[in-house]
Structure 1
Amino acid sequence: MSQLPSKNALPWLIVSVAVIVLDQLSKAWVLSSLPEYTAIPVIEGVWNWYRTYNTGAAFSFLSDAGGWQKYFFVVLAVAISGLLAAWLRRTARGDWKTALPYALVIGGALGNVIDRLLHGHVVDFIQWHWQEHYWPAFNLADSAIVAGAVGIALVGLFATPPAKPKG
């Protein structure tokens, strides 16, 4: 078993907490200020505020599965967050290229878990489109998950392989 770093990256969980707080504050604003299913242009022809709900996952995957998916996605998000937190524990604190993406995914996943537990669905409100071509609505938690996943992929693609021992 490899030795844990003397100063691990668990303090990066502060980023996760910040993502959760910003996500939940933005959703509270949406729920109190935006009408349901009504596009409010932010940048005409490109970006709308659009309050909608998702009982599924990305691109409404399993949204019409009958309700069991809520618990499946909660368990999945908590398990992934736990795994990433364990990896943070094994990551050196100064390794921000690894720690930041993990923290973003954890914060985004748990932000959406809070929605599922409080509301039974995820609140989405950012809608991008080009003319009549619409991207599915999303939220700040989704943005953090995507940014973190891209970061994890980039670190994996561009990581320097460990040197092979001579012998």
Structure 2
Amino acid sequence: MWRFMWIAVVVLLFDQLTKLAATDYLALHGEIKLAPFLSFVLVHNTGAAFGFLSGAGGWQNVFFIVVALSACVFILWMSWRLESRDMFLVIGLMLVLGGALGNLTDRLFHGYVIDFIDVYYHVWHWPAFNVADSAITIGAVILALDALQPGSRKTR
């Protein structure tokens, strides 16, 4: 497991660097249209995915910090228990861990998560997201694919 920890570290660093760049640039220049369906726009998300609980009055930040810390501890514990042949599963877990640490870092230092990627079609906008959210999503897909493999962990 430890030899794959670099994946979580790279996700965390790339996430924080892109958020720093987006905050610095977008605060001065506003929205940047990259394509007819893609923009960079600065969003401070006090909620969870899709802005869930963003208007809850402030208690949600502590709640999401506790959830993220618990998830990180669980992922580390689970990764520690895996065998070397579970490489696909460990990669998925490290992507989720890196993303969780990226968003956790935002919550601890800012009180909100910095989102800046806006995907849209005409007037319909997908909720803004960031590199950490992307890593969590890719990691979750990998975990789901691993769980769907015939004879995955049931026989071990």
Indicate the TM-score class for this superposition, using the shorter chain for normalisation: over 0.9
CA drift at 1:95:
2.5
The DSSP-based 3-state class of the residue aligned with 1:17 is helix
> Which residue in 1 is equivalent to 2:114?
123
> Which residue in 2 is equivalent to 1:76?
67
The DSSP-based 3-state class of the residue aligned with 2:127 is coil
> Which residue in 2 is equivalent to 1:99?
90
Which residue, out of 55, 58, 64, partners 1:64? 55
Give the alignment's Cα RMSD to 1 decimal. 1.8
TM-score (norm: length of structure 1)? 0.87
> Which residue in 2 is equivalent to 1:5?
none
Q: Tell me how far apart the structure 2 counterparts of residues 163 and 108 of structure 1 sit (CA, whole Å).
A: 30
Q: Tell me how far apart the structure 2 counterparts of residues 134 and 34 of structure 1 sit (CA, whole Å).
A: 18
The question of whether the paired residues in 2 share the 8 Å contact of 1:20 and 1:141 is answered with yes
Structure 2 CA distance for partners of 1:159 and 1:105, relative to 1, 3 Å: farther
Which residue, out of 32, 40, 48, partners 2:39? 48
The question of whether the paired residues in 2 share the 8 Å contact of 1:101 and 1:148 is answered with yes
Residue 32 in 1 paired to residue 24 in 2?
Answer: yes
Which residue, out of 10, 25, 34, partners 1:18? 10
**Between structures 1 and 2, the one with greater helix share:** 2
Structure 2 CA distance for partners of 1:88 and 1:135, relative to 1, 3 Å: same
The DSSP-based 3-state class of the residue aligned with 2:33 is strand
The question of whether the paired residues in 2 share the 8 Å contact of 1:97 and 1:155 is answered with yes
Q: Gaps spanning 5+ residues in structure 1: where?
A: 1-8
What do residues 54-106 of structure 1 show as CA deviations (whole Å, max 9, x unaligned)?
00000101111111111111110111111111111111234221000000001
Q: Gaps spanning 5+ residues in structure 2: where?
A: none
Q: Which moved more, 1:86-95 or 1:126-135?
A: 86-95
The question of whether the paired residues in 2 share the 8 Å contact of 1:30 and 1:125 is answered with yes
Could you tell me the percent identity over the aligned residues?
39
Q: What is the total number of aligned residue pairs between the two structures?
A: 155
